[in-house]
Amino acid sequence: MKQQIERFSPHQNAKVFGALMAVSSLIIMLPFSLLLFAAAPTQARPPAFFLLLAPLMYLVMGYVMVAVGCAIYNFMFKYIGGIEFQAKTDDA
């Protein structure tokens, strides 16, 4: 049975995606920042608050982009239809 997704919740999807982006960027940034601080001379090191700034920016930009994308999808659904998928139910 083919079904279409009629609506995405912009706030909920953006909240989840923003949190995932922040956590994953923090996980990736930590090892690279440790290498950067170990390899760079003291005068050339960036301030440590940049470690927290990158995940915060990923969170904000991820939230905004997904919220806008969901809003555009919800608006366009009535004109072009939605994402279509095929589902199967198991009658046990």
Residue with more model confidence, 37 or 2: 2
88 in helix, strand or coil?
coil
Q: What is the pLDDT of residues 4-44, one digit of tens each?
A: 899 999 999 999 999 999 999 999 988 888 887 777 777 77
Domain map (residue ranges) of the chain: 2-40+49-86
Confidence of residue 57 (pLDDT cuts 50, 70, 90): very high
- Supply the pTM of this predicted model: 0.79
Q: Which of 1, 2, 6, 3 is CA-nearest to residue 79? A: 6
The H-or-E segment that residue 18 falls in is: helix 10-39
Judge residue 36's burial from the number of C-beta atoms within 10 Å of its C-beta, 0-12 exposed, 13-18 middle, 19 or more buried. middle
